[in-house]
Structure 1
Amino acid sequence: MSYSYSSSSAATWQERLEEKCREAQIHPPVFQIMSDRRGGRTAWSSTVTVQGQNIPARFWYDGQHVNNAKEDAAEVALKHLNGSTPSSPSQSRTGW
Protein backbone atom coordinates (compact mmCIF):
# COMPACT_ATOMS: atom_id res chain seq x y z
CA MET A 1 0.00 0.00 0.00
CA SER A 2 1.38 3.41 -0.87
CA TYR A 3 0.68 6.71 0.80
CA SER A 4 0.81 10.09 -0.81
CA TYR A 5 0.85 13.43 0.89
CA SER A 6 0.19 16.82 -0.61
CA SER A 7 3.14 19.16 -0.38
CA SER A 8 1.24 21.50 1.93
CA SER A 9 0.46 18.79 4.50
CA ALA A 10 4.08 17.63 4.67
CA ALA A 11 5.58 21.14 4.64
CA THR A 12 6.81 22.85 7.79
CA TRP A 13 5.07 25.98 9.04
CA GLN A 14 8.09 27.96 7.87
CA GLU A 15 7.80 26.53 4.35
CA ARG A 16 4.05 27.18 4.27
CA LEU A 17 4.60 30.79 5.37
CA GLU A 18 7.27 31.32 2.70
CA GLU A 19 4.92 29.86 0.09
CA LYS A 20 2.06 32.11 1.24
CA CYS A 21 4.33 35.17 0.96
CA ARG A 22 5.37 34.16 -2.57
CA GLU A 23 1.74 33.67 -3.59
CA ALA A 24 0.77 37.05 -2.11
CA GLN A 25 3.84 38.64 -3.75
CA ILE A 26 5.09 40.10 -0.47
CA HIS A 27 8.58 40.08 1.03
CA PRO A 28 9.63 36.71 2.44
CA PRO A 29 9.40 36.24 6.22
CA VAL A 30 12.38 37.25 8.36
CA PHE A 31 12.90 35.27 11.56
CA GLN A 32 14.69 36.52 14.63
CA ILE A 33 15.65 34.33 17.58
CA MET A 34 15.62 35.79 21.08
CA SER A 35 16.70 34.42 24.43
CA ASP A 36 15.82 35.05 28.06
CA ARG A 37 18.08 33.94 30.89
CA ARG A 38 16.02 32.13 33.55
CA GLY A 39 18.01 31.05 36.55
CA GLY A 40 20.59 28.56 35.34
CA ARG A 41 18.89 28.03 31.97
CA THR A 42 18.09 30.05 28.89
CA ALA A 43 14.69 30.06 27.21
CA TRP A 44 14.46 30.67 23.48
CA SER A 45 11.68 32.10 21.34
CA SER A 46 11.28 33.72 17.94
CA THR A 47 9.57 36.52 16.10
CA VAL A 48 8.88 36.68 12.39
CA THR A 49 8.47 39.85 10.39
CA VAL A 50 5.85 39.71 7.64
CA GLN A 51 4.50 42.78 5.85
CA GLY A 52 6.35 45.00 8.32
CA GLN A 53 4.69 43.37 11.34
CA ASN A 54 6.69 41.57 14.03
CA ILE A 55 4.73 38.50 15.05
CA PRO A 56 5.96 36.64 18.15
CA ALA A 57 5.86 32.93 18.78
CA ARG A 58 3.43 31.86 21.49
CA PHE A 59 5.90 29.79 23.51
CA TRP A 60 9.46 29.70 24.88
CA TYR A 61 11.67 26.66 24.26
CA ASP A 62 14.75 24.93 25.57
CA GLY A 63 17.91 25.52 23.53
CA GLN A 64 17.66 22.09 21.91
CA HIS A 65 14.35 23.12 20.35
CA VAL A 66 15.06 26.57 18.89
CA ASN A 67 13.64 25.51 15.52
CA ASN A 68 10.32 24.85 17.28
CA ALA A 69 10.27 28.54 18.22
CA LYS A 70 10.58 29.46 14.54
CA GLU A 71 7.88 26.94 13.64
CA ASP A 72 5.61 28.43 16.31
CA ALA A 73 6.14 31.98 15.04
CA ALA A 74 5.57 30.84 11.44
CA GLU A 75 2.30 29.16 12.43
CA VAL A 76 1.06 32.30 14.19
CA ALA A 77 2.05 34.48 11.21
CA LEU A 78 0.42 32.17 8.67
CA LYS A 79 -2.81 32.10 10.65
CA HIS A 80 -2.61 35.89 10.91
CA LEU A 81 -2.23 36.20 7.13
CA ASN A 82 -5.14 33.78 6.63
CA GLY A 83 -7.33 35.82 8.98
CA SER A 84 -7.61 33.46 11.94
CA THR A 85 -6.04 33.75 15.38
CA PRO A 86 -4.22 30.96 17.21
CA SER A 87 -5.97 29.75 20.34
CA SER A 88 -2.99 29.19 22.66
CA PRO A 89 -2.07 31.74 25.31
CA SER A 90 0.94 33.97 24.60
CA GLN A 91 2.57 33.56 28.01
CA SER A 92 2.73 29.76 28.14
CA ARG A 93 6.17 28.21 28.75
CA THR A 94 6.03 24.83 27.01
CA GLY A 95 8.97 23.04 25.48
CA TRP A 96 11.04 23.13 28.67
Structure 2
Amino acid sequence: MSTSTAGGQGAMPNWQKMLGDHCSKNGLAAPEFHIVSDRRGGRTAWSATVNVGGGSFAARYWYDGQYLNNAKEDAAEVAIRKLDPQPFVPQTNYSGQF
Protein backbone atom coordinates (compact mmCIF):
# COMPACT_ATOMS: atom_id res chain seq x y z
CA MET A 1 0.00 0.00 0.00
CA SER A 2 1.39 3.39 -0.94
CA THR A 3 1.53 6.09 1.65
CA SER A 4 2.12 9.80 1.75
CA THR A 5 2.66 12.33 4.48
CA ALA A 6 0.11 15.10 4.96
CA GLY A 7 -0.30 17.74 7.60
CA GLY A 8 2.35 16.23 9.86
CA GLN A 9 0.06 13.31 10.65
CA GLY A 10 2.58 10.68 9.58
CA ALA A 11 2.14 8.04 6.91
CA MET A 12 -1.32 8.03 5.36
CA PRO A 13 -2.77 5.94 2.53
CA ASN A 14 -2.60 7.46 -0.94
CA TRP A 15 -6.26 6.92 -1.85
CA GLN A 16 -5.98 8.57 -5.27
CA LYS A 17 -3.26 6.10 -6.26
CA MET A 18 -5.18 3.16 -4.81
CA LEU A 19 -8.28 4.20 -6.77
CA GLY A 20 -6.25 4.56 -9.98
CA ASP A 21 -4.71 1.12 -9.40
CA HIS A 22 -8.17 -0.36 -8.78
CA CYS A 23 -9.44 1.13 -12.05
CA SER A 24 -6.45 -0.19 -14.02
CA LYS A 25 -6.78 -3.65 -12.50
CA ASN A 26 -10.52 -3.81 -13.29
CA GLY A 27 -10.50 -2.23 -16.76
CA LEU A 28 -12.26 0.96 -15.66
CA ALA A 29 -11.57 4.41 -17.06
CA ALA A 30 -9.24 6.57 -14.98
CA PRO A 31 -10.93 8.46 -12.12
CA GLU A 32 -12.13 11.96 -13.02
CA PHE A 33 -11.96 14.43 -10.12
CA HIS A 34 -14.02 17.61 -9.87
CA ILE A 35 -13.42 20.40 -7.36
CA VAL A 36 -16.49 22.16 -5.97
CA SER A 37 -16.75 25.27 -3.82
CA ASP A 38 -19.27 26.85 -1.49
CA ARG A 39 -19.07 30.47 -0.37
CA ARG A 40 -19.60 30.56 3.40
CA GLY A 41 -19.70 34.07 4.77
CA GLY A 42 -16.31 35.64 4.15
CA ARG A 43 -14.64 32.35 3.23
CA THR A 44 -14.93 29.66 0.61
CA ALA A 45 -15.06 25.97 1.50
CA TRP A 46 -13.83 23.40 -1.00
CA SER A 47 -14.66 19.76 -1.61
CA ALA A 48 -14.31 17.19 -4.39
CA THR A 49 -16.22 14.53 -6.27
CA VAL A 50 -14.81 11.70 -8.35
CA ASN A 51 -16.50 9.96 -11.27
CA VAL A 52 -15.43 6.35 -11.68
CA GLY A 53 -17.00 3.05 -12.65
CA GLY A 54 -20.26 4.70 -13.68
CA GLY A 55 -20.74 6.33 -10.29
CA SER A 56 -20.06 9.69 -8.70
CA PHE A 57 -18.60 9.78 -5.20
CA ALA A 58 -18.42 12.91 -3.04
CA ALA A 59 -15.89 13.70 -0.34
CA ARG A 60 -17.39 13.54 3.14
CA TYR A 61 -16.07 16.92 4.25
CA TRP A 62 -15.43 20.48 3.12
CA TYR A 63 -11.88 21.86 3.28
CA ASP A 64 -9.98 25.12 3.47
CA GLY A 65 -8.54 26.11 0.08
CA GLN A 66 -4.98 25.16 0.93
CA TYR A 67 -6.09 21.53 1.41
CA LEU A 68 -7.64 20.80 -2.01
CA ASN A 69 -5.60 17.62 -2.38
CA ASN A 70 -7.10 16.36 0.88
CA ALA A 71 -10.57 16.86 -0.60
CA LYS A 72 -9.55 14.67 -3.56
CA GLU A 73 -8.07 12.07 -1.20
CA ASP A 74 -11.33 12.07 0.76
CA ALA A 75 -13.42 11.52 -2.40
CA ALA A 76 -11.05 8.79 -3.58
CA GLU A 77 -11.31 7.07 -0.19
CA VAL A 78 -15.12 7.12 -0.37
CA ALA A 79 -15.00 5.68 -3.90
CA ILE A 80 -12.52 2.89 -3.21
CA ARG A 81 -14.36 1.83 -0.06
CA LYS A 82 -17.59 1.49 -2.11
CA LEU A 83 -16.03 -0.11 -5.19
CA ASP A 84 -13.69 -2.52 -3.40
CA PRO A 85 -15.07 -3.08 0.13
CA GLN A 86 -12.10 -4.87 1.67
CA PRO A 87 -10.87 -4.34 5.21
CA PHE A 88 -8.72 -1.23 4.85
CA VAL A 89 -7.18 0.99 7.45
CA PRO A 90 -9.60 3.03 9.60
CA GLN A 91 -11.18 6.16 8.14
CA THR A 92 -8.64 8.87 7.51
CA ASN A 93 -8.83 12.36 9.05
CA TYR A 94 -7.40 15.08 6.81
CA SER A 95 -6.01 18.50 7.68
CA GLY A 96 -8.27 21.41 6.85
CA GLN A 97 -11.59 19.64 7.39
CA PHE A 98 -14.53 21.81 8.37
Per the alignment, residue 72 of structure 1 pairs with 74
Percent of aligned pairs sharing the same letter: 51
Per the alignment, residue 17 of structure 1 pairs with 19
**1:20-71 C-alpha deviation (Å, 9 max, x unpaired):** 0000111110000000000000000000001121100000000010110000
Gaps of 5+ in 1: 1-7, 89-93
Per the alignment, residue 41 of structure 1 pairs with 43
Per the alignment, residue 51 of structure 1 pairs with 53
Deviation at 1:12, TM superposition (A): 1.0
Check whether the contact 2:59–2:78 (CA below 8 A) recurs between aligned residues.
yes
User: Any idea what SS the aligned residue of 1:64 has?
Assistant: helix
Deviation at 1:9, TM superposition (A): 3.8
Q: Which has the larger radius of gyration?
A: 1
Q: Aligned residues, how many?
A: 82
Paired residue type of 2:97: G
User: 2:92 aligned with 1:82, yes or no?
Assistant: no
Structure (1/2) with the larger helix percentage = 1
Structure (1/2) with the larger strand percentage = 2
User: 2:38 aligned with 1:28, yes or no?
Assistant: no
Deviation at 1:95, TM superposition (A): 1.6
RMSD, aligned α-carbons = 1.9
- Structure 1's consecutive aligned runs of 4 or more residues displaced over 2 angstroms after TM superposition are none
Paired residue type of 1:59: Y
